[in-house]
Every structure is written in structure tokens, then in C-alpha cells.
Amino acid sequence: MSTTTQTDREPHAGEPHRRPVVDTAQYVLAGFLVVVGAYVVYDATGLEDGFSDQPVQPYAFPYVVGAVLVVLGVLLAIATRRGDVAEAEDGEDVDLTTGSDWATVAKLAALFVLNIALIDWLGWAITGAVLFAGTAYVLGSRTPVRDLAVGAALSVGTFYGFYVGLGLPMPAGILDGVL
């Protein structure tokens, strides 16, 4: 949601003259969208034609996506120039005056590294459950049995979802032949 600021009006008597708010981040995002969109369109020019019986050629989708990105970037720059400024979030329960909790970030990173290191040996069903339970514990849950049960259900469910539903094999690890 954004609000529009009045930057083109004259100040009232006794009111100091305010400079318009320049939201550099929005201009950077607009420029990024234009650059990415232009690159997508440029890259699409190198795609070869598909079969003649295809109703939509392979380059059609990148042209549309690239053009939409360029248009959105230009519209964002215009809106920013007109004074639209992003509204601060009120719903987050975050104290921006405190620093980051790097210990929690390090624990979560260690869980991901452990998952990467053990997934081939133990398999996704086990490491996924440990990853879920460990993440829940690091983020404040104090019910490890329930977290492991939910993690096991999610990891086995995603294992079969990928393996059966999508045809993508997941590492079974020590449970090879059981799953």
C-alpha cells in the first residue's frame, strides 16, 4: 500500500519549506526491473523457432515477461517521481532498534549444513524430519516429540510427493527398500 505526499504545494506561513522525499530504493528497484526485463527480451531474441504446428513459439513467453518487467519498472519510476512512498508496516512485531540475533541464524545455518551433509546417507525422510524439528526448536518450540512427528509426516509426504507425484527421485538413504 502506498500513500501520496503533497510535494508541489506552497508551504503555509511559518511552515518551513520541505524538500520532496526521494525514495532511492524504489528508483533502484525500478531500474533493476527495467534492466532485467530488457535482458530477458534480448535473450529471447536468440531462441530458435519451434515446430511449425506449435500455436505459441518458444520465444513468446520471454517476450511477454520481459516486456511486462520493463513496463512495471517504468510505471514504478513514474509513481516514485510523483511522490508515492511506501507505507511503513504496522503489522510486524519487530523491534527495529535491536540488532540481529546472529546466534539463531548460525544455528539455522548449521542445521542446513547438517542436512546437506547427511541427506545422501540418511535420506530425505530422516534428515527432513530432523531439519523441521531442529528448526522448530531453534525458533522456540519446546515440544520435540510433536515436532519430530510433524517433521516425519512432512518429509515422508514430500518424499512421496516428489517421487510418485512428480517422478523426481529423492535420496532414500538407509531407508532404501523401505520407502
Q: What is the DSSP string of 128-149?
A: HHHHHHHHHHHTT---HHHHHH
Neighbours of 91 (CB within 10 A): 5
CA proximity to 135, closest of 117, 109, 154: 109
CA proximity to 86, closest of 172, 33, 22, 174: 22
**Alpha carbon of residue 38 to chain centroid:** 22
Question: Average pLDDT, stretch 7-23?
Answer: 60
**Please, which residues have CB within 8 angstroms of residue 121's CB and are 6 or more apart in sequence?**
173, 174
pLDDT for 145 beyond 90 = yes
Q: Judge contact between 150 and 165, C-beta under 8 A.
A: no
Domain boundaries, the chain: 1-100, 102-175
Residue 156 to residues 8, 109, 130, 149, 168: CA-CA distances in angstroms?
A: 60, 23, 12, 11, 14
Tens digit of pLDDT for each residue in 82-104? 988 777 666 667 666 778 889 99
> What Rg, from alpha-carbon coordinates, does the chain have?
26
Q: Which residue has the higher pLDDT, 179 or 64?
A: 64
Question: Average pLDDT, stretch 149-168?
Answer: 94
Model confidence band, residue 65 (pLDDT cutoffs 50, 70, 90): very high
Tens digit of pLDDT for each residue in 37-64? 999 999 999 888 777 666 777 788 999 9
Whole-number pLDDT of residue 22: 73
pLDDT for 17 beyond 70 = no
- Within 13 A of 59's CA, how many CA atoms are on the CB side? 11
pLDDT for 80 beyond 70 = yes
pLDDT for 7 beyond 80 = no
